[in-house]
Structures are given as C-alpha cells and as structure tokens.
Amino acid sequence: MKSSETQPFVNSQVGQLATFAGGCFWCMVKPFDQWPGVHSVVSGYTGGHTENPTYEQVCSGTTGHVEAVQITFDPVMMSFEKLLDVFWRQIDPTDSGGQFCDQGSSYKTAIFYHSEEQRRTAELSKLHLEQSGRFGSPIVTPILPAGPFYPAEAYHQDYYRKNPAHYRSYRQGSGRDEYISVAWGDGR
C-alpha cells in the first residue's frame, strides 16, 4: 500500500488530515468515527523507518512505527481542537511506555501534525491539559511532524464494527475504559 500524503489537506473537497497514536488502534477508531464532520478513520502505522510494514513487523518493535489512526475531517464541522479533545480523553498521556495493557514502542502515544497551525494548536492543547492539574504526572505525549502513513491490513480496519463483542471485551479488559471513567468521569 502507498502511504498517505502528509499535506494538511487531502483535497479541498474532502477535508483535512489529523493523525494520532493512542495505543491499540482498534480502540482509537470508534471515538472519532462517531462525530459529524469526520469522513474517515483509518488504522495504520506511522513514525518509523520501514516502508509498508506489516502488523507483525510493527509489533516486533523493530520498525520504529506506532499504531495510529489517520482521520479525514471537515474542519468547518469538526475542528482540530475538538479532535484533540477527543484524543486526550482516550489515552493516558502520562504513560511513556505504551497504553494500558499494551506496552512497548508500537503502542506509544503521539500527535502527528500536518501543518504549522496544527502544531501550534496541539502544543496549546497539551499546555492546557498540563495546567489543568487533572493528572499527577507530566504529560509525555510528543507532538511530531507527520510522515508517511501506512494503512493497516484490512482485518484491522473498523474493528469495532466487524467484531463488536471482542472489541468491547478488549477495551474493558485492557484497562482503557476504567481509566477513562476515572480520569474524565464521562468516558468521552
């Protein structure tokens, strides 16, 4: 598969790109997919040095890639700021080793910006989160320039729709849902 463009706009008819790594990409699709103005959420790999990696290669920790989602959205209907809010509410931004039961380099968090405006917005969002006092530890999620994004294998796409029972069980068993409930109260 070819990597996606790393420009801020896919084209003027479709919308803007946002790319987030939040641990297991299965758990990162549904929270974004439900919002008006979000056209697509694709599971994939980014941030590393291996072209067209497989799931097994990424999980081995040798590619430098993280599991991520790339979102195509209409910035008029769904702002990048709102996407950042959704992102922060799905992760533990204080964990530098992975997310919940998934630990290791491929499960680390990151915000990958596609424009200088996205970088500034992400930095400000991170600063506000740090200043909120919500977390007792530093926010360690890095903000990095977007690079090539490689869509994951077909069986990983829209996993929550294809395998709803396993998806719910995995989210709950991983500790993600409990963490979100405690950290944010509403789980959104």
Question: Which of the listed CATH numbers 3.40.50.2000, 3.40.50.620, 3.30.1060.10, 3.40.50.300 matches domain 9-184?
Answer: 3.30.1060.10
pLDDT digits (tens, 9 = 90+) for 70-127: 999 999 999 999 999 999 999 999 999 999 999 999 999 999 999 999 999 999 999 9
- Mutual angle of helices 80-88 and 116-132, in 10-degree steps: 40
Per domain, the residue ranges of the chain are 9-184
CA 188/CA 184 separation, integer angstroms: 8
- Enumerate the β-bridge partners of residue 116: none
pTM, two decimals, is 0.91
**Please, what is the average pLDDT of the chain?**
92
More confident residue, 150 or 10: 150
- Enumerate the β-bridge partners of residue 4: 149
24 is catalytic: yes
Catalytically annotated residue among 24, 27, 59, 101: 24
Identify the pLDDT of residue 13. Answer: 52
Identify the pLDDT of residue 122. Answer: 98
